[in-house]
Amino acid sequence: MTDRYCVFGHPIGHSKSPAIHAAFAEQTGEAIEYTAIEAPLDDFAGAWRDFVAAGGRGANVTVPFKEEAYRLCDELTPRARRAGAVNTLLLMADGGIRGDTTDGAGLVGDLERHGVALAGARVLVLGAGGAVRGVLEPLLEAGPASLHIANRTAAKARALGEDFADLGRVSGSGFDAVEGPFEVVINGTSASLAGDLPPLPDALFAPGATAYDMMYGAEPTVFLRWAQARGARGIDGLGMLVGQAAESFHLWRGKRPDVTPVLEALRRSL
């Protein structure tokens, strides 16, 4: 019997995850079925139970259910507990649910593939929501000289910085108090989805800096266009998407797929 996996979201029709995991399965010789399921906004837990009853073994979870998935778990990895959100569910042998978050590993792995040095770098992260919270621990484990969180609501950025201050030199502020330059700037806001840009100073980038947007598209996002016009190298979040999926696949199947050919094929399809 083929093992079943899925991605839960609302909406979910746009998801690239089924194509990514189908490619991973073919590459590794694993017999799995992976589908996209639009869970009801008011009953994510019910959608998970129905999936398990139909033979589901594990799932990815995207917006807006990552916090609900966290609360559903019987067991959490340390990084998921720290993030307060889960994007990967695994059905354990005893029927319990194990939760993990692979977004941060996907981000750091993509930065490494592009040759971006985080160790000793001054890093700026834009946004203070769940997407940012989920990547802070892996970023700080890479050993930056400092990491600053900037958000429209300054108090939220400062509170998030305090939550992770034990892992390194972390601070937070509103967008209006950001002072560069930075070697790495990561946009973790959803502004790119609406074609918007956080209010940022022009003098943000150090020479040779990298700008990374967690969003992606066929064309550079408005944030990446803005950053490139100011001399930064721009990288979108497609590699993060494929990288976090590879981490989930490894958790479920014990095999680590090669990200590069899947990422290249996905890029061509945009």
Q: Which pLDDT does position 63 carry in this prediction?
A: 87
Please report which helix (H) or strand (E) contains residue 223, including its range: helix 222-228
What is the number of other CB atoms lying within 10 angstroms of the CB of residue 142? 20
Q: Could you read off the pLDDT of 172-218 as tens digits, one per residue?
A: 999 999 999 999 999 999 888 788 898 899 899 999 999 999 999 89
* Residue 195 pLDDT: 82
- b/e code 164-201 from CB counts within 10 Å (16+ = b): beeebebebbbbeebebebbbbbbbbebbeeeebbebe
3-101+240-269 and 104-236 in the same fold = yes
**What pLDDT does residue 196 have?**
85
Residue 66 designated active-site: yes
Q: Which pLDDT score, from 0 to 100, does residue 131 have?
A: 87
Identify any residues that bridge with 15 across adjacent strands, giving them in sequence order.
Answer: none
Q: Which CATH superfamily is domain 104-236 in?
A: NAD(P)-binding Rossmann-like Domain (3.40.50.720)
pLDDT per position in the chain (270 positions), as tens? 689 999 999 999 999 999 999 999 999 999 999 999 999 999 999 999 999 999 999 999 998 999 999 999 999 999 999 999 899 999 999 999 999 999 999 999 999 999 999 999 999 999 998 889 999 999 999 999 999 999 999 999 999 999 999 999 999 999 999 999 999 999 999 888 788 898 899 899 999 999 999 999 899 999 999 999 999 999 999 999 999 999 999 999 999 999 999 999 999 998
Half-sphere exposure of 189 (CA within 13 A, CB side): 25
Pick the CATH number of 3-101+240-269 from 3.40.50.10860, 3.40.50.10880, 3.40.50.11890, 3.90.870.30: 3.40.50.10860
Q: How far apart are CA 35 and CA 33, in angstroms?
A: 7
Binding-site members are 15-17, 62, 87, 103, 127-131, 151-156, 214, 216, 237, 244
Question: Which has the closest alpha carbon to 161: 180, 144, 146?
Answer: 146
Find all residues with CB under 8 Å of 129, minimum gap 6, and list them.
188, 189, 190
Residue 250's pLDDT is: 98
Residue 74 CA to residue 266 CA, distance in Å, equals 34
pLDDT at residue 207 in the model: 97
- Beta-carbon contacts of 202 under 8 Å, excluding residues fewer than 6 positions away, are 230
CA distance 250 to 65: 22
Give the pLDDT score at 49: 97
Tell me, what's the pLDDT at 89?
98
- Which of the following is catalytic: 12, 60, 65, 66? 66
Residue set of the binding site for shikimate: 15-17, 62, 87, 103, 216, 244
166 three-state secondary structure: helix
Question: Which residues does the annotation place in the binding site for NADP(+)?
Answer: 127-131, 151-156, 214, 237
Q: Domain locations in the chain?
A: 3-101+240-269, 104-236
- Secondary structure of residue 254 in the 3-state scheme: coil
